[in-house]
Structure 1
Amino acid sequence: MSYRSTIARQPQALADTYAAARSQLAGMDLSILDRPLIGVTGIGASFAAAVVVAAQLQDGGRRAFAIRSVDMAGGLDLCDALVGLSHRGRSVETLAALEKLPSAGRLAITNDAASPLALAADLHLKLDNGSDATPSSTGYTATLLAAGMICEKLAGETADAFAAIPALAGEVLATAAGKMERLGRLFATRRAIDCVGAGAAMGTADEASLLIREASRIPAAAYDTRHYLHGPMESMDGTTGVVIFGAGRELELARHLERIGCPALLVTTAEGMEDGELLTVIRVPASRNVIAQGIIDIFAAQLLAAELSDAAGLTDTKFRYRMSDTKVPDSKAA
């Protein structure tokens, strides 16, 4: 399935995952996660998702943090409970993280109940997002949605921040699509693109930078907003671009980038920001739940990555570099 078609089918993929997760969570005891320190881990896009999930746990008063899977491979006792994210459940590093921490309560979120990661965990929640493409679209957003529903249950939340997400996905994708022709012109032939956000949006920025790298092969990197102001933005100019997520200091950053002649995309919930000569604004609905906001915010970046991929003549081009040691082999494919 093509990258653009998987982006477009996210409303259905998210609706299916919502229904599946709701059914599973109705009978799931999450007490093994109700511990003093919760780690959330993954690699690649799943680590970007882990940053968003950890931020939601923190927002709910939990001591939680995102930790890279490779940092747990040594078996250090770094957390009391661990949530492992991996769409197919075959990431070697994430599997090692769960296996090396047997004393912690372990929950895995994958789309395969028979995957190595699912089998290594005490609890497993299965996604129902259907097929995904490279780069990931439905896998990333479905993982966030399922993790968000887990966070709600763990916190005893009665409000449901995710029931409306499938419908919102269609609305936001349609709104963002209306800005892509303009962004395609402004972001043409960029030598590098930075992606910037704060808190949970740092995870969104990380995922956006990965999408741009994978889809268009343009060098891209992610930065925390305040860190970005302390030097990293110094290299940006008329030959580069910046993608910004947020409604705080990010607004002035967007204005400043336009003043220095650098094209920028601002994905924001803020009112009153308008397109400029080089600034493109995509206003999105606001959610009090940071995971729901992370899902809403990433749609524009997915479409931008597809636009840049098409412009580079790389539409649905397969990865050039395939590593032999990053996934547990699938015996069914042998």
Structure 2
Amino acid sequence: MSYRSTIARQPEALADTYAAARVELANLDLSILDKPVIGVTGIGASFAAAVVGAAELQAKGRRGFAIRSVDMADGWDLCDALVGLSHRGRSVETVAALEKLPQASRLAITNDPESPLAQAANLHIRLNNGSDATPSSTGYTATLLAMGMAFEKLIGGGDDFAAIPKLAKEVLAAAGNRMERLGELFSARRAIDCVGAVASLGTADGASLLIREAARIPASAYDTRHYLHGPMEAMDATTGVVIFGAGREIELAQQVDAIGCPALLVTTEDVPDGNRLTVIKVPKADNLIAQGILDIFAAQLIAAVLSDAAGLTDTTFRYRMSDTKVPKAEAA
């Protein structure tokens, strides 16, 4: 399927994943993950999702950390429980991370219960997002959804994800209405920075990867407060900034607008557009993972707009690596 079509079908993909994960979690004992230090790992977009997930654990008073898979390749004892994220379950680095920590309790979240990552884990939750494209849309948001539901069962809380499919449809429609303006303002950017704090740093990382993959525009992710200490000095009328948040991020968006730099602010607050600032308001979720799902839709859409403008619609990757996925033959 095309990138745009997979973006559009996320309400269905999320509803299907919610239904499947709810059944699996009803029969899954997650108590072995109830440890002092919980790591969340992945690579690429899955590491961005790990940052979002770890932030929710911390917000609920748990010692949860996003750990890069390569940092566990030597078997360092970095956590007591480990959650591994990989859409297809074949990312070499993430599989190695789970295999190198045999003493830790391990949960894998993938779309394939027979995948190498699932086999390396004690527990597995299957994604039911259907088809995905490159860049990933349904795979990323379904991973967040299943992880969020698992963490709700582990640490308690209400059902913050039942309404996500319906909200996804509404947010995609509202964000879609702003894309013509954003397409004009963000055309011919030489670079785009993506900024957010805490869980939104993961969302910013995911957004920067989408822009790189879909439009081949250099894009980087920064923590909000870190961004104020120098990185934003490179931005001007030839660049763009995508910002996620409702705190210092609002003033930041207005500051870059004042210097003539096009900006997109994805926020839960009522903030007016500026001269080159476009604001997309999204519903506020109490759960940071649920918020991460709602926030990423605007980034997916602007990446698609920029991809179309560059003549790269559904173009395949130029660089194909032979050592980033466990070959299917080995997975048998």
Does residue 286 of the first structure (1) align with residue 306 of the second (2)? no
Residue 268 of structure 1 pairs with residue 305 of structure 2: no
- How do 1:100-111 residues align onto structure 2 when only pairs under 5 Å count? 100-111=100-111
Q: How far off its partner does 1:331 sit? A: 2.5
Q: Shift in Å at residue 333 of structure 1?
A: 10
Match of 2:168 in 1: 169
| TM, length-normalised to structure 1 | 0.98
Give the match for residue 46 of structure 2.
Answer: 46
Label 1:322 to 1:85 Cα distance change in 2 as closer, same or farther (>3 A): same
Decide whether the 8 Å contact of 2:264 with 2:279 is kept in 1.
yes
What's the % identity of the aligned pairs?
Answer: 78
Q: In the alignment, what sits opposite 1:241?
A: 240
Matches within 5 A, 1:145-164: 145-157=145-157, 159-164=158-163
What secondary structure, in the 3-state scheme, does the structure 1 residue paired with 2:67 have? strand
Corresponding residue number in structure 1 for 2:124: 124
Cα distance in 1 for residues equivalent to 2:266 and 2:117: 34
Q: Is the 8 A contact 2:115 2:331 kept in 1?
A: no
Structure 1 unaligned spans of 5+: none
Counterpart of 1:201 in structure 2 is 200
The TM-score with structure 2 as length reference comes to: 0.99
Q: What secondary structure does 2:297 align onto?
A: helix
* Distance in 2, Cα, partners of 1:264 & 1:46: 25
SS at match of 2:109: strand
Partner in structure 1 of residue 304 of structure 2 = 306
Partner of 2:210: 211
Query: 1:258 is aligned with what amino acid?
Result: D
- Report the alpha carbon displacement of residue 32 of structure 1 after superposing the two structures with TM: 1.1
Partner of 1:316 in structure 2? 314
How big is the shift at 1:332?
A: 9.4
SS in 1 for 2:159: coil
| Cα contact 2:20–2:126 (8 A) shared by 1 | yes
Matches within 5 A, 1:3-18: 3-18=3-18
2:18 and 2:162 in contact (8 A); partners too: yes
Using the TM superposition, give the Cα deviation of residue 274 of structure 1 relative to its aligned residue in structure 2, in angstroms: 1.0
Maintained 8 Å contact 2:116/2:331: no
Q: What letter is aligned with 1:180?
A: M
Root-mean-square deviation (Å): 1.0
Partners in 1 of 2:331 and 2:201 — Cα distance? 36
Q: What SS does the corresponding residue of 1:318 show, helix, strand or coil?
A: coil
- Partner SS, residue 209 of structure 1: helix
CA distance in 1, matches of 2:193, 2:133: 23
1:147 and 1:57 map into 2 onto residues whose CA distance is 11
Q: Over residues 235-263 of structure 1, what are the superposed CA-to-partner deviations in whole Å (9 max), with x where a residue is unaligned?
A: 00000000000000000001000111100
Local SS of the residue matching 1:125: strand
Q: Within 1, Cα distance between the matches of 2:250 and 2:46? A: 28
Aligned partners of 2:59 and 2:204: how far apart in 1? 19
Q: How many residues align?
A: 332
Task: Look up the SS of the partner of 1:244 in the other structure.
Answer: strand
How far did residue 129 of structure 1 move? 0.2
Q: Distance in 1 between matches of 2:169 and 2:329?
A: 36
Number of the residue aligned with 2:65: 65
**3-state SS in 1 of match to 2:14:** helix
Moved over 2 A (4+): 331-334
